[in-house]
Amino acid sequence: MIPDLSTLWVIAFVLLLSVILDRLLLRPITQVMHQREGAIKSARDLAESSRAKAQAASDEFDSRTRAARAEVYKQMEDKRRAALDRRAEIVSATRAEVEQTTSAATDRIKKQSETARAQIDRDADALASTIVERVLGRKAS
């Protein structure tokens, strides 16, 4: 059986339409989809690169922060040791001064005590002589 002419025209129009649709619609859509895929891949690569750089910067910041803290703690420890040494010096100097002052005060008190005893002994002798004179009415020999 031979197809009639209208069937051939339909087949020709369908083929022509499929070629036109392919070139004017499907290929541009496919090209846009490939471009979008490329842009998405590029954006993902850029995001991954940025994440890696941010992670590296964060790690470097953390390491520098740890190093700075260690340095600050070392300086604080050095200052604490210096303060403790200074305190020990002050305590030692104060202790020596207190011992010197105590020793000087003890010596003064001993001298004052000896002077007071000597004065009491003289006063006792004078008082005894006065009592003897009044009781006896004459000087004791």
SS3 21: helix
Q: Of all residues in the chain, what percent carry a pLDDT higher than 90? A: 75
First to last CA, the chain: 188
Tokens of 81: 């040791």
Q: What's the chain's average pLDDT?
A: 92
- Residue reference for tokens 């190093």: 67
Strands (DSSP E) along 5-130, which ranges? none
Q: Running DSSP on this structure, what letter comes out for residue 23?
A: I
* Per-residue model confidence as pLDDT tens digits over 5-62: 888 889 999 999 999 999 998 999 999 999 999 999 999 999 999 999 999 999 999 9
Alpha-carbon distances, residue 26 vs 12, 14, 34, 37, 38 (angstroms): 19, 16, 12, 16, 18
Report the pLDDT value the prediction gives residue 8, as an integer from 0 to 100.
Answer: 84
Is the pLDDT reported for residue 131 higher than 90?
no
